[in-house]
Amino acid sequence: MTAISRKRLPIGIQNLREIREGDYYYVDKTGFALRLIDEGKYYFLSRPRRFGKSLFLDTLGELFAGNESLFRSLAIHDRWDWSRHFPVIRLSFGGGVMRDEGELEQKIRELLTVNQEALDLKYKQTSIAGCFEELIRKAHAASGERVVVLVDEYHRRIPDNPTEPQTARAMRDGLRNLYSVIKDADSHIRFAFLTGVSKFSKVSLFSGLNNLNDITLDSRFSAICGYTENDLDLVFASELGGLDRDTIRTWYNGYNWTGEAVYNPFDVLLLFQKRKFHPWWFETATPTFLVEVLKERQTWLPNLGRIETSADLLSTFEVGNIPTEALLFQTGYLTIDTEEEFFGEYHYRLRYPNREVYQSLNNSLLRAWTANAQETLAYKTRLGQLLLANDFAGMESLFTAFFSSIPSDWYRNNSIARYEGYYASVFYAYFAALGLDITLEDSSSQGRLDMAVRFNGHLYLFEFKVVELVSAGEALEQIKERGYADKYRAEGLPIHLIGVEFSRDRRSVVGFEVKHIVSTSSTSTSST
């Protein structure tokens, strides 16, 4: 038998030349590049961090520069005129931290100087806009070919100041001044492509560049970044041995921008190297800012995985006014589940993309919603053990002890703890942080929730109530009266009906009733 050829894994590499000349695996995205170039001129793409945006931009740069050797055997090679060499201007705002508009201006001037030197040009203008315009115009004149402008992480420096909106707005205005040059220099530009994690509206950052074609939710380009199922089969076939394909899919696939779903490329590459399932992508940047926003807005955690929103809200990212759904979607913590056109408007249902994000984000939220991270970890581990043993008395004791152990000062100093949905959110987050299969049956803004959990051949149906708002014992009674178990009886699994009642005054679990259904034909056989 012929040994399977293996290549190097391009972990963290954003440079096409290094990948192609260094015997690394490469997923060919040049077909997307050709389509973009054939169909238009100005483009914008939003994708989460570490999804391959920078590599795609570099691919465009090498293509327009006419570096044919890098494209042999790729989809675009025989469909491109290699005799033409276009001047390429590259601006990347991905590195470093800029705290104010002065540091941003310095960064822009540095980037323009690098491009000036690379193109062997000089300019006389002193303003940033003047220098940029002159660079574009002279590059066109010197080469005889119109200019290609590539901007990576076009807004990255603005969120460095989320708690200082005035400074952030000043930096936004500085970038807007820069980008307005692109439209004004239209006669000198062949192609322009801007990428970032978030999308600012055209009236804020792009008021001077309102001719951008936003392909973020264009189904034809859903797979422009990331790896498809076919990519894993064809490109990474030699790395799949010993790894369960369904588990790979559950952990890292599921990202969707209304077209073909893709895997997180960073996760897949680390999986192939480390040979273990782990939240590799999530741990590269703990979403502290996101967690604080959700906490401040008293977010009801069970709703996160099934948000419904409009196209307008989904694409909004404004300084000091970031909708929750836009923040979660654009940063990659939620993705598109369904798209529906309604009276000329598009509406979307969002979901967690995969187990990595679902479990890891809820872990982070659980730590933020509770007082002691180490103690919370111990409680979560204990919950898993109790579920394996179906020890319901132990579960009651566990959650009673947990809520009772939270210091009074923590409640007084955290508005989230006074939120009516706090207890149900924490309860849900414990199960979600274990990565369990959870189905939400019913919910309301009042903190009321039906939660179905499938685990280890058993089905658990939960109803949560706050006793100050209802009569004691109502949680379990509601499960029975509404027949929540009926739709599950045909599965033949043991079903456990669990009513959990909280007291916001006592800050504790005050009721934990259980009733068991053991088969499709039986009625409840025991209760505790």
- Pairing, β 495-503 against β 189-196: unpaired
Identify which of 89, 94, 141 has the alpha carbon closest to the alpha carbon of residue 112.
89
pLDDT at position 322 is 78
Cα–Cα distances (Å) from 448 to 140, 232, 466, 487, in that order, read 63, 42, 8, 20
**Per-residue model confidence (pLDDT) at position 69:** 98
Backbone angles phi, psi at 345, to 5 degrees: -115, 150
Helix (H) or strand (E) holding 403: helix 392-405
pLDDT of residue 319: 60
* Domain identity same for 90 and 179: yes
Question: Which residue, 421, 451, 440, is CA-closest to 298?
Answer: 421
**The pLDDT value given to residue 521:** 46
239: its two tokens: 């790395």
d(CA 376, CA 363): 9
In a domain, 141, yes or no: yes
Contacts of 471 (CB under 8 A, 6+ apart): none
Which DSSP state fits 153? S
Domain that holds residue 321: 218-369
Strand order, beta sheet including 42-46: 88-92, 147-152, 189-196, 42-46, 213-214
> Based on C-alpha coordinates, what's the Rg of the chain?
27
The residue among 216, 250, 285 that closes a domain is: 216
Specify the higher pLDDT residue, 217 or 319: 217
8 found inside a domain: no
> Do residues 416 and 471 both lie within one domain?
yes
- At residue 320, the 3 state secondary structure works out as coil
Across 207-211, average pLDDT: 69
Q: Six-digit token pair at 116?
A: 């000036």
Query: How many angstroms separate the CA atoms of 177 and 104, rounded?
Result: 12
Identify which has the larger pLDDT, 371 or 331. Answer: 331
Residue 261 within any structural domain of the chain: yes
Mean pLDDT of 429-456: 77
pLDDT digits (tens, 9 = 90+) for 358-417: 999 999 999 999 877 888 889 999 999 999 999 999 999 998 988 888 888 888 888 888
Kindly give, in sequence order, each residue whose CB lies less than 8 Å from that of residue 460, ignoring residues fewer than 6 positions away. 387, 452, 453, 454, 495, 496, 498
- pLDDT at residue 342 greater than cutoff 90: no
258 within some domain:
yes
Closest CA to 424 of 371, 475, 500, 372: 500
Decide if 14 is inside a domain.
Answer: no
DSSP conformation class of 459: E
pTM across the whole model: 0.90
Q: What is the pLDDT of residue 2?
A: 45
Same domain assignment for residues 449 and 516 = yes
Confidence of residue 526 (pLDDT cuts 50, 70, 90): very low
3-class SS at 284?
Answer: helix
- Please tell me the distance from the alpha carbon of residue 478 to that of residue 480, in angstroms, as a whole number: 5
Those residues whose C-beta lies under 8 Å from the C-beta of residue 184, and which sit 6 or more positions away, are 133, 208
In sequence order, the β-bridge partners of residue 100 are: none
pLDDT of 523 > 50? The answer is: no
Residue 19 lies in a domain: no
User: Which residue in this structure is represented by tokens 């949905």?
Assistant: 421
Residue 231 to residue 224: CA distance in whole angstroms: 12
Answer yes or no: do 169 and 305 share one domain: no
- CA 241, 285, 439, 396 dihedral sign is positive
How many folded domains does the chain comprise?
Answer: 3
Q: Is the pLDDT of residue 200 over 90?
A: no
Residues 322 and 363 in one domain: yes
Instruction: Kindly report, residue by residue over 71-103, the tens digit of the pLDDT.
Output: 999 999 999 999 999 999 999 987 766 667 888
Domain with residue 181: its CATH number is 3.40.50
Per the structure block, which two tokens stand in for 377?
Answer: 């970890």
Band (289; pLDDT cuts 50, 70, 90): confident
Report the C-alpha gap between 424 and 446 in whole angstroms. Answer: 10
Residues 233 and 193 in one domain: no
Q: How many CB atoms lie within 10 A of CB 418?
A: 11
For the record, the structure tokens of 277 come out as 């399932």
Quick one: 363 and 400 in the same domain? no
Out of 341, 369, 397, pick the residue that ends a domain. Answer: 369
230 versus 441: the higher-pLDDT residue is 230
- Output the pLDDT for position 524: 43
List the end-to-end C-alpha distance of the chain, in Å, as a whole number.
62
Q: Is residue 2 in some structural domain?
A: no
| C-alpha pair distances (Å), 135 with each of 111, 138, 171 | 12, 5, 22
Interaxial angle between packed helices 265-274 and 245-252, expressed in degrees from 0 to 180 and rounded to the nearest 10: 140
Length of the chain: 528
225 pLDDT more than 50: yes
Q: How confident is the model at residue 163 (pLDDT cuts 50, 70, 90)?
A: low
Looking at the fold, whether 46 and 185 belong to one and the same domain comes out as yes
> Residue 446: what pLDDT?
36
pLDDT computed for residue 420 by the predictor:
77
Tokens of residue 161, six digits: 């100041």
Q: What is the pLDDT of residue 444?
A: 40
Weakest mean pLDDT among 6-15, 115-124, 480-489: 480-489
Alpha carbons 450 and 448: distance in angstroms, whole number: 7
For residue 241, is it within any domain? yes
For 197-264, the DSSP string reads SS---TTTT-TT-TT-EE-TT-GGGTTSSSB-HHHHHHTSGGG-TTS-HHHHHHHH--B-SSSS-BB-
Q: 200 vs 105, 167, 204, 370, CA distance in Å?
A: 20, 16, 7, 33
Confidence of residue 161 (pLDDT cuts 50, 70, 90): very low
Residues 517, 392 within the same domain:
yes
3-class secondary structure, 42: strand
Closest CA to 484 of 494, 493, 474, 495: 495
User: pLDDT value at position 445?
Assistant: 38
Q: Are residues 384 and 364 in the same domain?
A: no
Q: Are residues 425 and 509 in the same domain?
A: yes
323 and 432, same domain (yes or no): no
Domain termination site, one of 169, 196, 216: 216
- Contacts of residue 312, defined as CB under 8 A and 6 or more positions apart, other chains included, come to none
**DSSP at 77:** G
Computed over every residue of the chain, the mean pLDDT equals 88
Q: Tell me the pLDDT tens digit for each residue of 39-52.
A: 999 999 999 999 99
